[in-house]
């Protein structure tokens, strides 16, 4: 029975999908956050739709489908994430020609906390640089390993077409695919340090597609539209010089090694780092260099053992390590220099690389010790199974705690905030002033600023998302009582257009009548 379960693809798919959904289920409690507000204001106020990039199209489609029901957006992201786990299972199963190892890798990926802060914003979770990007990468890798194993050219042609398509879908992130495809081809087919001519031809194909897209705006849609390749010289906005300068800094800085260590240690390090906060500066290489050195030394030892046990495993460990590090460097160079924490939202693309590394590390160590002492095989099997289960369990717990923490900070309060605001006042008159008062607590003030902050049109536009009959210019939002008095001046008729609220850890309270009475006393 167990033997059948260990090789049953359908059961594996159902289980990894279910575990992924269970691990990310708390995302359904999340709410719109920061970047979303500007787009939501535009669409609730019938701005002319101008997006020309695929992530914008996706976000707009979700708005047309779900409106202001945030759960629908996050449910979509949850399904995309679970789909990426399934594709990763299929990829590893095919890569290692072992469904059980694919299943283990799928469980590790489904539960790991790497990059899970991607889900904080709908924009990254569902569209930009989030799990759809992971689906795209895993699809490419699956097609390429199919080409290597079956020697059928249509796999490679399809991979090249998909690469051009994915560049168009998410132009700000797919550049990361190029080094990953290079590393995978190199280590999967490794025989000599200098690879074969076929390797260079394959990589030249992807590189030319990359350059054609970024330099000459050659896209799949333009090819279809013009029935051929249309080169638009000078169309690129890619700042090569700036990125080259960032590359020099990233390649010589020790900080990416901290990020690499955080990712490799995953859940256990997240728990430990929480306890160390306030005592150790976790982004200062001088204070954490011992952890970094010990971790990387252990990684080198594991890779050496894997190469000795089964060369393919060792080479794929090198690839998985390169997968993680290329992602870290990519976002140091192109997006967020200084990122060091494992859950950072831009590191989600590294999560499958981490899962592959953990799976192959445990497999290699198990095979190594069994070879040295075959009599201990039953005992070793239990030990390594317990180790694997422990890693999955700790990672799952770290993921859940991280989600719950963010929901306590933002998701739950934000949902309640806008629900209460709408219940208190289904609409606001034109030229209204909305005053939010808070206790002196810096934490409460910050939480409130994150509930309605991040809108490129300002706070009033965020509130106006829920009042489409009001433009942002028709509402003022202030947090200083002096500005309320300034708004009234000597005109008592304006008092009825003042709406006051008190926000603390218990939520939003309506103080409008009290505030209006106080204002009338002064006039």
DSSP 163-196: HHHHHHH-TTTGGGHHHHHHHHHHHHT-SSSS--
388, 429: one domain: no
- Residue-level pLDDT at 148: 95
306, 213: one domain: yes
Residue 514 domain flag? yes
- Residue-level pLDDT at 414: 95
Q: Which of 444-468 are b and which e, b meaning 16 or more Cβ less than 10 Å from the residue's Cβ?
A: eeebbeebbebbebbbbbbbbbbbe
- What is the domain extent for residue 428? 415-522
Token couple for 401: 């705690």
425, 444: one domain: yes
381, 427: one domain: no
Domain boundary among 408, 439, 454: 408
Degrees (nearest 5) of the Cα angle 352, 358, 363?
Answer: 125
Residue 56 domain flag? no
391, 433: one domain: no
Residue 195 domain flag? yes
322, 463: one domain: no
How far is residue 370 CA from its own chain's centroid? 38
Strand pairing category for 475-478 and 432-437: parallel
Domain boundary among 393, 408, 423: 408
How far is residue 271's CA from residue 314's CA, in Å, rounded to a whole number?
29
144, 201: one domain: yes
Measured between alpha carbons, how far is residue 183 from residues 135, 178, 188, 286, 298 in Å? 18, 9, 8, 31, 22
- Total domains in the chain come to 2
- Residue-level pLDDT at 7: 76
Residue 50 domain flag? no
223, 93: one domain: yes
Residue 241 domain flag? yes
Residues in a beta bridge with 432: 475
User: In this structure, which long-range contacts are made by residues 260-264, counting pairs with CB atoms below 8 Å and at least 24 apart in sequence?
Assistant: 260/296, 260/324, 260/325, 260/328, 261/288, 261/291, 261/292, 261/295, 261/296, 262/340, 262/341, 262/342, 263/114, 263/324, 263/328, 263/342, 263/347, 263/350, 263/354, 264/295, 264/299, 264/324, 264/354, 264/357
Residue 140 domain flag? yes
Cβ atoms within 10 A of the Cβ of 418, count?
A: 21
Residue 368, classified by CB atoms within 10 Å of its CB into exposed (0-12), middle (13-18) or buried (19+), is middle
- Residue-level pLDDT at 454: 87
CB 93 within 8 A of CB 102: yes
399, 516: one domain: no
Task: Tell me the residue length of the chain.
Answer: 523
Residue 338 domain flag? yes
333, 437: one domain: no
332, 236: one domain: yes
Residue 360 domain flag? yes
346, 378: one domain: yes
Question: For 288, phi and psi rounded to 5 degrees?
Answer: -120, 15
- Residue-level pLDDT at 232: 64
Positions of the chain with pLDDT under 50: 1
Residues 6+ away with beta carbon under 8 Å from 109: 85, 88, 351, 352, 354, 355
- Residue-level pLDDT at 212: 84
Domain boundary among 388, 408, 428: 408
- Residue-level pLDDT at 420: 95
How far is residue 13's CA from residue 198's CA, in Å, rounded to a whole number?
34
How far is residue 110's CA from residue 25's CA, in Å, rounded to a whole number?
12
- Residue-level pLDDT at 339: 61
Cβ atoms within 10 A of the Cβ of 146, count?
A: 18
């Amino acid at each position: 029975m167990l033997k059948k379960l260990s090789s049953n693809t359908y059961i594996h798919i159902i289980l990894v999908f279910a575990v992924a959904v269970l691990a990310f289920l708390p995302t359904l409690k999340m709410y719109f956050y920061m970047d979303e507000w500007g787009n939501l204001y535009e669409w609730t106020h019938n701005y002319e739709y101008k997006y020309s990039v695929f992530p914008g199209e996706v976000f707009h489609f979700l708005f047309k489908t779900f409106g202001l029901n945030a759960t629908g957006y996050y449910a979509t992201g949850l399904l995309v994430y679970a789909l990426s786990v399934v594709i990763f299972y299929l990829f590893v199963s095919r890569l290692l020609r072992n469904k059980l190892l694919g299943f283990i890798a799928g469980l590790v990926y489904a539960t790991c906390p790497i990059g899970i802060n991607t889900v904080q914003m709908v924009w990254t979770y569902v569209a930009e640089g989030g799990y759809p990007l992971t689906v795209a990468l895993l699809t490419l890798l699956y097609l390429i390993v199919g080409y290597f194993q079956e020697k059928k050219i249509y796999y490679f042609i399809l991979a090249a077409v998909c690469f051009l398509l994915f560049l168009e879908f998410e132009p700000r992130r797919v550049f990361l695919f190029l080094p990953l495809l290079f590393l995978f081809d190199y280590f999967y087919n490794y025989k000599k340090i200098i690879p074969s001519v076929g390797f260079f031809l394959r990589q030249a194909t992807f590189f030319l597609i990359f350059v054609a897209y970024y330099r000459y705006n050659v896209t799949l849609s333009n090819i279809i539209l013009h029935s051929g390749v249309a080169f638009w010289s000078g169309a690129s906005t890619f700042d090569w010089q700036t990125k080259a300068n960032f590359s020099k800094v990233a390649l010589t800085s020790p900080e990416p090694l901290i990020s690499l260590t955080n990712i490799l240690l995953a859940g256990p390090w997240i728990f430990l780092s929480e306890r160390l906060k306030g005592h150790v500066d976790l982004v200062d290489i001088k204070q954490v260099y011992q952890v970094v050195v010990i971790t990387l030394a252990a990684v080198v030892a594991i890779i050496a053992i894997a190469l000795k046990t089964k060369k393919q495993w060792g080479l794929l460990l090198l690839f998985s390590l390169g997968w993680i590090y290329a992602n870290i460097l990519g976002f140091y160079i192109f997006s967020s220099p200084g990122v060091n924490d494992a859950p950072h939202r831009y590191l989600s693309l590294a999560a499958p690389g981490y899962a592959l590394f953990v799976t192959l590390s445990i497999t290699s160590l198990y095979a190594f010790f069994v070879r040295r002492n075959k009599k201990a095989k039953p005992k070793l099997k239990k030990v390594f199974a317990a180790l694997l289960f422990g890693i999955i369990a700790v990672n799952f717990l770290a993921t859940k705690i991280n989600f719950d923490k963010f929901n306590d900070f933002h998701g739950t309060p934000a949902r309640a905030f806008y629900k209460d605001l709408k219940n208190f006042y289904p609409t606001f008159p034109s030229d209204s002033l909305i005053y939010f008062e808070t206790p002196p607590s810096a934490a409460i003030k910050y939480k409130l600023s994150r509930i309605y902050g991040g809108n490129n049109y300002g706070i009033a536009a965020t509130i106006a998302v829920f009042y489409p009959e009001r433009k942002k210019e028709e509402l003022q939002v202030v947090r200083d009582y002096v500005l309320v008095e300034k708004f009234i001046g000597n005109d008592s008729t304006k008092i009825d257009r003042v709406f006051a609220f008190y926000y603390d850890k218990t939520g939003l309270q309506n103080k409008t009548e009290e505030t209006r009475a106080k204002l009338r006393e002064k006039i």
